[in-house]
Amino acid sequence: MSPDANDEFTLYCDGASRGNPGRAAIGYAIFAADGTEIAAHGEFLGDRLTNNVAEYEALLRGVANAHTLGIRRLRVRMDSQLVVRQVLGEYKVKHPGLKPLHASALERVRRFESFHIEHVRREDNRRADALANAALDDLISPEGAN
């Protein structure tokens, strides 16, 4: 894909953790300006991870994919108010485990010519949520064991 330099793409991303900490996964989808989905991914991250770590990982991996696709103008929408406000600098990053993820996110978003991030309600982030939950569901045994 070679995106038009003037096009703004939208990345929806979500992290999920069952147990918090618990089994965690991410999901993200990238859409062109006309609403066409150009990339989607769900991935299991592992056990004993928090929801906030999963949210940051979803952002990091989605942004990395957008960069690989050659996207230069990106709008991120996610339902993690904490991550959005930390990336915007409105909230301090106090948890030591989130500091390196936050620093990496800031470094990666600076690569874009234009970058915006905004909080959306969970129901407005359904595609990314579904991808993250599908990644979790594929790895949970029929007995529901963790």
> What is the C-alpha separation between 103 and 59, in angstroms, rounded?
12
Question: Going edge to edge, which strands form the sheet with 9-18?
Answer: 37-49, 22-31, 9-18, 73-78, 114-119
pLDDT at 146 over 60: no
Q: Which class for 71: exposed (0-12), middle (13-18), buried (19 or more C-beta within 10 A)?
A: buried
The secondary element (H helix, E strand) that includes residue 73 is strand 73-78
Tell me yes or no: is domain 9-137 CATH 3.30.1490.190: no
Q: Contact 23/140 with Cβ under 8 angstroms? A: yes
Tens digit of pLDDT for each residue in 6-51? Answer: 799 999 999 999 998 999 999 999 999 999 999 999 999 999 999 9
> What is the C-alpha separation between 138 and 43, in angstroms, rounded?
10
> What is the C-alpha separation between 49 and 27, in angstroms, rounded?
15
Q: Which residue has the higher pLDDT, 14 or 4?
A: 14
pTM of the entire structure?
Answer: 0.92
> What is the C-alpha separation between 9 and 71, in angstroms, rounded?
7
Contacts of 127 (CB under 8 A, 6+ apart): 12, 27, 29, 37, 40
Distances in whole angstroms, Cα of residue 58 to Cα of each of 23, 34, 41, 143, 144: 14, 23, 10, 27, 24
Residue 6 is predicted with a pLDDT of: 78
Residue 2 is predicted with a pLDDT of: 61
Distances in whole angstroms, Cα of residue 22 to Cα of each of 44, 52, 137: 11, 12, 13
